[in-house]
Every structure is written in structure tokens, then in C-alpha cells.
Amino acid sequence: MKNRNRTSRLIFLFLSGIALLFIISPIISLYFSSSLDKIFESAADPEVSQSIITSLVIAAATTLIFAVFAIPLAYLLARHDFKGKNLLLGFIDLPIVLPHSAAGIAVLGLITRDSLLGRLADSIGLNLIGSPFAIGLAMAFVSLPFLINSAKDGFEAVPKRLEQSAATLGASPFQSFKTIALPLAKPSIISGLVLMFARGMSEFGAVIIVAYHPMTAPVLIFDRFNSFGLSYARPISIIFVSVCVLVFILLRLLGQKKTSRKN
Amino acid sequence: MLECKNIYYHVDKFILEDFSMKVENSQYVGLLGPSGSGKSVILEIIAGLRHQDSGQIFLGKDDLIDVSALPPQKRNCGYLFQDYALFPHKNVFENISYPLRYVKTPLEPLSESDKKELVYNISKSFNITDLLHRMPENLSGGEKQRVALARTLITKPDVLLLDEPLSALDAPLRKASLELFSSLAHDGLSIVHVTHDIEEINSVSDYIIQMTDR
């Protein structure tokens, strides 16, 4: 019996190892693919640093702005059943399954000069295509489902009884949401925000359709690869992957710190 | 005081037909029935957590006021949930003081020191002053019940609704809890106690309403 358990565990470990290796090995080989000189040379290139800042800033702003709309939606979905809810949930997940270039085309249709939004912008002398606004929209479109789903799961995990209790103690629905549901769902919401930010920051397919400039880091990597080849794209890739990993770890640690301080 | 008049309610296959009840000040009423008979539904309708199809609910200390159309936060109904529903992210002090932030006093808002005094006084009466900084997860069943009661009663509700309040307690605590509820009724509070166990309420209630399936 003991031997059989051991064999099962070894098989599981072996299979898991292959899955992990598949994720880790391209990243590790990337880090060994370029010399330190080339990496520092790329880091000193103002176009590289500007593209990374553009990615980070637009992704952060997009996440925070859309959170204002996504969190109430997640709460309503968690708390209410209605006809067509499953269909609506399917629509929310649609951006995850769409090819990203198709997502970019869809977003582009929203902001062309002929569209309502485009005409509005045109009337005040703005062109939305090729703007940070367009990049933000593309990032939001592909990454919003992560925030909505994570926040919805968080709200669903808050027992309805607690909000009912708050109501009998004098809290209005909004007060109950603010003092009970939101704080208790916070870890899931933060997780969703981090995922949305990370996904948006690394988006390429949708972004390149709506705006080649200003260049985000993924677009610059593609541009360098296309124009100069793999050896020129690698150093920027290493820098951007490092920034992504650092930001991701930092946000996760901040999220955990807030949770453990509360406990 | 509480009065329910001709309450009709239905959801899915459950139907509550023509339910009426009156509970005077200091009266202790038992609502008895098997699981699924609608006892908790009646409490939820009284508290405003569900809305009846027709019929009226009246609440008040001296005069009865029609609260049928009022949302739960405006009804001044004390509700002790079966699992006590303490807020897990707030300590005992914060749980008990929670309703005070929504209290509308006739003259001016309660100051922080007034709130602290009210919380301390009610904690003293329930013998839980040494628990004020604890989190709910670190309380025993009996302690949770007393904290939940303190939280419910701090704003002096017109009626106290008890939803199977003894189910999570062992025998000695059940006896102590019943004595506590009884003393609250003796002090003037109207109480409705929902249970499936007649032994639980036989000795304390003024009368018992039996829910039946048809």
C-alpha cells in the first residue's frame, strides 16, 4: 500500500515537473540569452524606459478607473439571480477567449472617427486612435473579466446573512456593502486588480491594432524583433519580464501584508 | 409590541397563508414547527428581510406603527440569527457598537465617548467586558450569543426575534440562555422565539404558535 502511494506521488511529481519546466525554462533561457552589456545598453535607451513607463502607467490608470464600474457589477452578479444571468456571465468572459487582434479590431470600431465616441472626441479636437486612451481601452477590454470574476467570487464568499444582519442593525444597502461586503471581499478584489493590471500591462495583440504609438513595452519588443531581429528584442524582453515579475511580487506582498495585518 | 395581520407570502412551493399574531410588551411567544414549515420566513418578514405578498406588520413600544412598507434598517427590530452573524472582520467592541453609527437621536449625533459608554454598559450587563478586544473567531458559542444579543439590544429594539437561538449550545448554556431571554421579557421586551423543540420554549413562553403543513 505504501509503495503504491509512493509510486502515485512520484508520477504526480514527474507530470507536475514537466508542466513547471514548460513555464520556467523559456524564461530562464531568455535570461541567459543576452549579455549583461546588451541588457544595460537597452536599459539606458530612453525609448525602452519610456515604453515600460507607458505600459505601467496606462495599465495602472485603466485598472483603477475601470474598478469603479467593475466592482459594483461584480457585487450585483454575486447577490442577484435573474433571467439571462448565465448568458451575461458568458459575455463577460468573452474577451478572454477572443483572439486579441480581433479584440483590438472591436475596440477600434468603438473609437474611429465615424463612431459616437470618435465624433465626440473630434468635436473637441481630439483623435482617439493612436492615443493612450485607446491603449487603455484595449488593455481594459482584455483584462476586465479577471477583475470582475475575482471580485464576484469574493462577494459570493461573503455570507448574505452578514448583510442581512447589518440591515437589521440599521445599515442601508449601500452602508452594508461598504462596511461588510467590501471589506470582507477585499482580498479577492485586490487579487483581481493585480491580475487586471498584470494582464493589461502585458497586452500586445489588441494594443497594436488601436495604437502603434505611443509604444508600450510589448509593442516595442515586437518592433525591435521585426526591424532588427531576435538579438535586439531579447534584452528589452529581459528588462520588461523583470519589471513585470518585480511589480507582480510587490503587489502580491502588499496585498498579503494588508490581509495579515488585519488578522 | 408586534402585530402581524393576515400575512400572505409565497415563494416557489412554499406558501404562508393568512398568518396573524400579536405580541404585547413583556410577552414571550414561541413559534414552533418542523424544518421547512416557515418559522424563519415569518421572522424575516417581520424584520423586513422578505416582503410579504399582502398583510400588515405593526411595531412599536407604546403605540403600534404600520411598518409594512419600511425597509429592514428602519424597523427597529432586534434579530438574533441562528449562527449569530457576528462580523468576522470586526472585534467584539466594533460589533456591538456597529448599530450606534446608524442611530438617529432626536437632538444630536452620539459622541464617541457616549458610544463607548453605551457599549461598556451593555457589555457589563451581559458579562462580556473582558471580551471587547477579541475577534469573533476566538469566542465560544455562548460568548458569541451574548455578544450578538448585546449588539442587537444596544439600540433598544421594539421586539426581539430569536431564530433557533439554542441550536449551537450545550445543555447548561441552553438553560442559562433561556433564563436570560426570560429576564429580557420580564424587563418589558416583546420576544418571538422560533424553534422546532417544544421543550425549549415550554417553560418560558406565554403562548406557543404551532406551524403546520397542509
Please give the full DSSP string across A152-200, using - where no structure is assigned.
HHHHHTS-HHHHHHHHHTT--HHHHIIIIIHHHHHHHHHHHHHHHHHHH
Answer for the pair B15, B53: CB distance below 8 angstroms, yes or no. Answer: no
pLDDT, residue B37, reads 77
**Cα gap B19→A1, rounded to integer Å:** 62
pLDDT of residue B108: 58
Cβ–Cβ contact A161 with B under 8 A: yes
CB-based contact, A81 to chain B, within 8 Å:
no
Query: Measured between alpha carbons, how far is B54 from A243 in angstroms, rounded to an integer?
Result: 62
Q: Which residue has the cell 552589456?
A: A37
Nearest Cα neighbor of A104 from A199, A205, A197, A218 is A205
Domain membership flag for residue B113: yes
Residue A125 above 90 pLDDT?
no
* pLDDT at site A250: 86
* DSSP class per residue in A90-128: HHHHHHHHS-HHHHHHHHHHHHSTTSHHHHHHHHTT---
Q: How far is CA A83 from CA A73, A80, A87, A88, A194, in A?
A: 16, 10, 9, 9, 31
Question: How would residue B28 be classed by pLDDT, with cut points 50, 70 and 90?
Answer: very high
By three-state DSSP, how is residue B86 classified?
coil
Collapse the DSSP code of A79 into the 3-class scheme (helix H, G, I; strand E, B; otherwise coil) and give the result. Answer: helix
Task: State the Cα–Cα distance between residues A81 and A78, nearest whole angstrom.
Answer: 8
Binary contact (B77, A169; C-beta < 8 A): no
Q: Which of A115, A103, A261, A255 is nearest to A188 (CA)?
A: A255
- A245 versus A61: the higher-pLDDT residue is A61
When pLDDT is cut at 50, 70 and 90, the band that residue B105 belongs to is low
Cβ contact, residue pair B78, A179, below 8 Å? no
| Chain A from 140 to 159: CB within 8 A of any B CB | 159
Three-state secondary structure call for residue A229: coil
**Mean pLDDT of the region A111-117:** 84
* Residues of chain B contacting residue A180, judged by C-beta atoms under 8 Å apart: 87
Q: What is the dihedral of CA A81, A82, A86, A89, to 10 degrees?
A: -80
B-chain residue closest to A167, CA distance: B73
CA A202-A206-A208 angle, 5° bins: 85
A182 lies within 8 A of chain B by CB: no
Cell of B57: 406588520
Predicted TM-score of the model (pTM) = 0.88
pLDDT the model gives residue A148 = 97
Q: What is the average per-residue pLDDT within A248-260?
A: 75
Mean pLDDT of chain B: 89
Q: Is residue B99 part of a domain?
A: yes
d(C-alpha B72, C-alpha A172), whole Å: 8
| Of A87 and B171, the one with more pLDDT | A87
Of the ranges B49-58, B153-162, B167-176, B180-189, which one carries the lowest mean pLDDT score? B167-176
Q: Which of A251-260, B34-43, B142-151 has the lowest mean pLDDT?
A: A251-260
- Residue B34 pLDDT level (bands cut at 50, 70, 90): confident
pLDDT over 70 (residue A263): no
Query: Do strands B2-11 and B54-59 pair parallel, antiparallel, or not at all (unpaired)?
Result: antiparallel
What was the pLDDT predicted at B33?
Answer: 85
A247 and A194 Cβ atoms separated by less than 8 Å: no
User: Among B73, B101, B103, whose Cβ lies nearest the Cβ of A167?
Assistant: B73
Query: Do the Cβ atoms of A184 and B88 come within 8 Å?
Result: yes
Q: What is the pLDDT of residue A65?
A: 96
* Average pLDDT for B70-99: 94
Which of A161, A164, A165 to mutate: most B Cβ within 10 Å?
Answer: A165
In the structure, what pLDDT confidence band is assigned to residue B214 with cuts at 50, 70 and 90?
low
Decide if A259 touches B, using CB distance below 8 A: no
CB A180 within 8 A of CB A158: yes
Q: Which helix (H) or strand (E) holds B185?
A: helix B171-186
Q: Is B169 part of a structural domain of the chain? A: no
A175 touches chain B (CB under 8 A): yes
Contact with chain B for residue A125, Cβ under 8 A: no
B interface mutation test: which of A169, A175, A189 has the most B CBs within 10 A? A169
Residue B197 pLDDT exceeds 90: no
Count of structural domains, chain B: 1
CB-based contact A202:A139 (threshold 8 Å)? no
The answer to the question of residue B100 being in a domain is yes
Which residues 172-191 of chain B have a CB within 8 Å of chain A? none
Q: What is residue A258's predicted lDDT score, i.e. its pLDDT?
A: 60
Contacts of A164 in chain B (CB under 8 A): 44, 49, 72, 79, 81, 85
CATH entry 1.10.3720.10 includes domain A57-216:
yes
Are A164 and B73 an interchain contact pair (Cβ–Cβ within 8 Å)?
Answer: no
Give me chain A's average pLDDT, please: 91
pLDDT band at A248, cuts 50/70/90? confident
Nearest Cα of chain B lies from the Cα of A248 at a distance, in angstroms, of 26
Q: Is residue B190 part of a domain?
A: no
Contact B155 A159 (CB under 8 A): no
Structural domain boundaries enclosing B92:
88-156
| Of B54, B74, B84, the residue nearest B158 (C-alpha) | B74
Beta strand extents in A9-48 (DSSP E only)? none
Q: Is the pLDDT of residue B36 over 80?
A: no
Asked if the Cβ–Cβ distance from B85 to A161 is below 8 Å, we say: yes
pLDDT at site B57: 94
Q: Do B87 and A162 touch (CB under 8 A)?
A: yes
Angle, CA of B25, B30 and B32, to the nearest 5°: 155
Closest-CA residue of B relative to A175 is B102
What is the rounded distance in angstroms from the CA atom of residue A151 to the CA atom of residue A155? Answer: 6
- Sequence-distant (6+) residues with CB within 8 A of B86 are B95, B136, B139, B144, B147, B148, B151
Which contiguous run of DSSP H or E holds residue B22? Answer: strand B14-23
**pLDDT for B106 beyond 60:** no
- Residue percentage of chain A with pLDDT more than 90: 71
Q: What is the Cα–Cα distance from A112 to A123, expressed in whole angstroms?
A: 13
The 8 Å CB, 24+ separation contacts for A211-214 are: A211/A129, A211/A130, A211/A131, A211/A132, A211/A134, A211/A135, A211/A138, A212/A130, A213/A130, A214/A50, A214/A51, A214/A54, A214/A132, A214/A135
List pLDDT tens digits, range B58-71: 998 888 889 999 99
Nearest CA of chain B to the CA of A186: how many Å?
11
